[in-house]
A and B are shown apart, each in its own frame.
Chain A
Amino acid sequence: MLKEYFGVLLFAGVAAIIPLAVFAVSYLLSTKKDTPEKGLAYECGMDTRGETWVQFKSGYFLYALIFVVFDVETVFLYPWAVKFGQLGLFAFVEMLIFIAILLIGYWYAWKEQVFRWK
């Protein structure tokens, strides 16, 4: 039993050594020159101006949430539409219920003024 687990330990050890070794090698071989460009975030869009810890408007998240819900809906709708011919009436009713549930949510969001950007 213990012998079997030794393999796991060995594996973990090797797994730890490899990245350390890579870092070490690159540290030893690389030339070190600091420029202001290097301190910037790598490929993360525009350079930021001012304080970066700002609060986002909560409306943004609500907006995104509604978008994701309908995004996912299309994921379900697409295969359903492709196989619609074979699925028959039951699947049709089922999808109507599914859409109805989402519509209630949509109605709710609308009524709660999620889409109004204040």
Chain B
Amino acid sequence: MNFNLLSTEIATALFGSVLLILSLVTGKDARRGLGHATLAGLLVLLLITFTQYGINSGGFSGTWILDDYAVFMKQVFIIAAILVVFAGKSYVEDFTGNCNEFYVLMVFALLGMMGMASAGDLITLYVSLETMTISFYILVAYNLTSGKSAEAGLKYLILGALSSAVILYGMSLVYGAAGTTLFAKMPPVSVASPVLLLGAVMLVAGFGFKIAAVPFHMWSPDIYEGAPTPVTAFLAVASKAAGFAAMLRVFLGGTPVAPDNWLGIIAVLAAITMIIGNLVAIPQTGIKRMLAYSSIAQAGYILVGLMAADPAGVNGVLFYSMIYAVANVGAFAVVIAVERATGSDEIAVFGGLWQRQPLLASVMTVCLLSLAGIPPMAGFVGKFLLFSAIMDQGIYWPAFIGFVMSMISVYYYLRVALVIWRDEPKDPAPIAVESGMRLAVMAALAVTVVLGVYPAVLSDLSLAAAKSFFGM
């Protein structure tokens, strides 16, 4: 047994436990220190993942795969977590009562995501998925004083449990038809039996819930709106990326279902997700709801990469996940800062942000433009990679829908920019930005711009990771 394959996860689990113990022995007045400890630990975890590149092997009877793909995805999760903690530290510390578990739960959610990226069989996948989801149930309802947060938590619990059940049912059907839970051992079948097809459909539906693809997206706007904003950011970014990581493992890593059988479903899902997500985002007046719908649309773009089902497509998914994570957390970080200062998450309160805090105004604009896919922001390169992968196979219409819809998305992204840059502020008092928040937004800004002008830094890595996924 090669425990090196598990070193990141063991470190994460240990780190989570240590955090829990720390929170027990330090008492409630030492919260600030706990945030710092979390950051330090996450940075160490990130460093550890860098030693894991190039291992590319499986273990534990095939239930665990550590290829560059998994390592890359884990870095996406960890980076998202680091940014969220940087940006959300003060927000969390504003909570009344005990906030110690917040960081602990985040770390355990992270552990679950890591497992999803590395899972080599259905059971590991499911256990990891539940580790992540259950942590999120609590995190979403974390703001005890807010009725909305509690409502969001309950909704997420019920709908999340439902989707988990659907996934589990789908898995049992796939297992029944294939005779094994290991992805690698599943025999390729050209003509699938109805049972297998049903299983695949259930898996698509279940994962569709996790990544909030239309028509399984209904939960996400309510929950994104109600949850504490840092949790929303983490949920929208890391949980979604983890959903994709697992979905790729299941569908490309070797379901016995031949691509012909599920590609059609994925294609339709991708198309309606891009269209509906973008169109419904237009009339939103709350920034969190708007970002929720926008992140639904983003899932649609990433699905196009899955549709391509080749290294170029996976490369797009990986690259875009990282870019999306950074830009989205950057946008949410600004929302957190503004929400703390004004107590509201309406788009209107962003009015005149350029006077109150030019840094936040610029970061918000750049991040939104990146999400919209306007060059020279990194989002454009990401979309280019995703869509050129599918166009390379001679299938043009998803790319067509994608490009047109992302240009339409500019409409609602720019509306926020318009409020920020045009309006005079109602309350001209500058918004204070403490050091952690400053670091988070500066990092998001820098990454989004630098990767936009010089994408090779990341795309080399993601391409290698994508190739490792296919054992190349």
Residues of A within 8 A of B (CB): 101, 104, 107-108, 111
Q: Which residue of A lies closest to B25 (CB)?
A: A111
Roughly how many angstroms separate A101 CA and B21 CA in the complex, as a whole number? 11
Roughly how many angstroms separate A104 CA and B21 CA in the complex, as a whole number? 7
Tell me if B24 counts as interface (CB < 8 A to partner A): yes
- Do residues A107 and B17 form an inter-chain contact, with CB atoms below 8 A? no
- Do residues B24 and A101 form an inter-chain contact, with CB atoms below 8 A? no
Other A-B contacts than A104-B21, A107-B24, A108-B20, 6 sampled, CB-CB below 8 A, are A101-B17, A104-B17, A104-B20, A107-B21, A108-B24, A111-B24
Roughly how many angstroms separate A65 CA and B128 CA in the complex, as a whole number? 21
Give the residues from 50 to 78 in chain B that come closer than 8 angstroms, CB to CB, to chain A.
none
B21 contact set on A, CB distance < 8 A? 104, 107
Distance (whole angstroms) from the CB of B289 to the closest CB of chain A: 31
Main secondary structure of the interface of A (DSSP, over half): helix
B17 contact set on A, CB distance < 8 A? 101, 104
B24 contact set on A, CB distance < 8 A? 107-108, 111
Number of A-B contacts (CB under 8 A): 9
Distance (whole angstroms) from the CB of B194 to the closest CB of chain A: 8
Q: Which residue of B lies closest to A5 (CB)?
A: B194
A111 contact set on B, CB distance < 8 A? 24
Distance (whole angstroms) from the CB of A70 to the closest CB of chain B: 18
Main secondary structure of the interface of B (DSSP, over half): helix
Give the residues from 399 to 438 in chain B that come closer than 8 angstroms, CB to CB, to chain A.
none
A108 contact set on B, CB distance < 8 A? 20, 24
User: Can you give 9 A-B contacts (C-beta < 8 A)?
Assistant: A101-B17, A104-B17, A104-B20, A104-B21, A107-B21, A107-B24, A108-B20, A108-B24, A111-B24
Distance (whole angstroms) from the CB of A89 to the closest CB of chain B: 14
A101 contact set on B, CB distance < 8 A? 17
Roughly how many angstroms separate A107 CA and B20 CA in the complex, as a whole number? 10
Roughly how many angstroms separate A101 CA and B17 CA in the complex, as a whole number? 8
Roughly how many angstroms separate A108 CA and B108 CA in the complex, as a whole number? 15
Taken residue by residue from 22 to 33, chain B's Cβ proximity to chain A (1 for < 8 Å, 0 otherwise) reads as 001000000000
Give the residues from 117 to 164 in chain B that come closer than 8 angstroms, CB to CB, to chain A.
none
Roughly how many angstroms separate A111 CA and B24 CA in the complex, as a whole number? 7
Distance (whole angstroms) from the CB of B150 to the closest CB of chain A: 13
Roughly how many angstroms separate A104 CA and B17 CA in the complex, as a whole number? 8
Q: Rank and list the top 7 A-B pairs by shortest CB-CB distance, nearest first.
A: A111-B24, A104-B17, A108-B20, A108-B24, A104-B20, A104-B21, A107-B24
Give the residues from 1 to 31 in chain B that come closer than 8 angstroms, CB to CB, to chain A.
17, 20-21, 24
Roughly how many angstroms separate A100 CA and B272 CA in the complex, as a whole number? 48
B20 contact set on A, CB distance < 8 A? 104, 108
Roughly how many angstroms separate A16 CA and B457 CA in the complex, as a whole number? 62
Roughly how many angstroms separate A35 CA and B20 CA in the complex, as a whole number? 58
Roughly how many angstroms separate A107 CA and B24 CA in the complex, as a whole number? 8
Roughly how many angstroms separate A104 CA and B23 CA in the complex, as a whole number? 12
Distance (whole angstroms) from the CB of B148 to the closest CB of chain A: 20
Roughly how many angstroms separate A111 CA and B27 CA in the complex, as a whole number? 10
Distance (whole angstroms) from the CB of A4 to the closest CB of chain B: 8
Roughly how many angstroms separate A47 CA and B399 CA in the complex, as a whole number? 66
Distance (whole angstroms) from the CB of A55 to the closest CB of chain B: 14
Roughly how many angstroms separate A111 CA and B17 CA in the complex, as a whole number? 15
Distance (whole angstroms) from the CB of B443 to the closest CB of chain A: 33
Roughly how many angstroms separate A115 CA and B39 CA in the complex, as a whole number? 32
Roughly how many angstroms separate A107 CA and B17 CA in the complex, as a whole number? 12
Q: Which residue of B lies closest to A110 (CB)?
A: B24
Distance (whole angstroms) from the CB of B82 to the closest CB of chain A: 24
Give the residues from 160 to 204 in chain B that come closer than 8 angstroms, CB to CB, to chain A.
none
Roughly how many angstroms separate A10 CA and B24 CA in the complex, as a whole number? 61
Roughly how many angstroms separate A108 CA and B18 CA in the complex, as a whole number? 12
Roughly how many angstroms separate A101 CA and B24 CA in the complex, as a whole number? 14
Distance (whole angstroms) from the CB of A84 to the closest CB of chain B: 19
A107 contact set on B, CB distance < 8 A? 21, 24
Q: Which residue of A lies closest to B17 (CB)?
A: A104
Roughly how many angstroms separate A104 CA and B24 CA in the complex, as a whole number? 10
Roughly how many angstroms separate A101 CA and B20 CA in the complex, as a whole number? 11
Q: Which residue of B lies closest to A8 (CB)?
A: B194
Distance (whole angstroms) from the CB of B200 to the closest CB of chain A: 18
Q: Which residue of A lies closest to B1 (CB)?
A: A90
Roughly how many angstroms separate A107 CA and B22 CA in the complex, as a whole number? 12
Roughly how many angstroms separate A108 CA and B20 CA in the complex, as a whole number? 8
Distance (whole angstroms) from the CB of B5 to the closest CB of chain A: 17
Roughly how many angstroms separate A16 CA and B17 CA in the complex, as a whole number? 52
Give the residues from 280 to 294 in chain B that come closer than 8 angstroms, CB to CB, to chain A.
none
Roughly how many angstroms separate A104 CA and B22 CA in the complex, as a whole number? 11
Distance (whole angstroms) from the CB of B417 to the closest CB of chain A: 45
Roughly how many angstroms separate A111 CA and B26 CA in the complex, as a whole number? 12
Roughly how many angstroms separate A107 CA and B21 CA in the complex, as a whole number? 9
Q: Which residue of B lies closest to A1 (CB)?
A: B194
Q: Which residue of A lies closest to B23 (CB)?
A: A108
Q: Which residue of A lies closest to B18 (CB)?
A: A104
Roughly how many angstroms separate A79 CA and B51 CA in the complex, as a whole number? 38
Roughly how many angstroms separate A68 CA and B439 CA in the complex, as a whole number? 44
